[in-house]
Structure 1
């Protein structure tokens, strides 16, 4: 069954990861924020994804050249991570 991650913790953890890896003030990050608005560059996205994979023990199938997963907003990132955690059996 996994280790039972709570959904509200996912959002909070992702906000913290984005703030840390992209050097964005935590207060500026909301689900509706676009990554472009937050001036998050492609290298930042890669670092954010690595941190998310490590934090939640998941694999994010992201290829910057493919864009199979669309990450336009912080909410898109949260939703994708929640779905991946749920698929792995870890979301409570």
Structure 2
């Protein structure tokens, strides 16, 4: 399973959606993910990939980690996994 597929599965679970309903172009807002759901998604993704995401729950728009869309999140995770590697 690709990184994108794994991330989509985690996000879909948080949004209580079918993974087929989550596209790379989806925003978390469109998927109905609250700020708490976002934090839970980040924790689940960190656990899944054994990485630490530079994300401040108090200021989700700040920092280097782009959460503007599913594709941006996948891209950021791919970069973190590659650096870990």
TM category, shorter? 0.7 to 0.9
TM-score, reference length from structure 1: 0.82
TM-score, reference length from structure 2: 0.88
Q: Which runs of 5+ in 1 are unaligned?
A: 1-7
Q: Who wins on radius of gyration, i.e. which is larger?
A: 1
Q: Which runs of 5+ in 2 are unaligned?
A: none
Structure 1 residue ranges, 4+ long, deviating more than 4 angstroms after superposition: none
Between 1 and 2, higher relative CO (CA 8 Å, sep ≥ 6) is seen in 1
1:76 is aligned, of 69, 72, 75, to: 72
The alignment yields a C-alpha RMSD, in angstroms, of 1.3
Shift of 1:64: 2.6
Query: How many residues get paired?
Result: 82
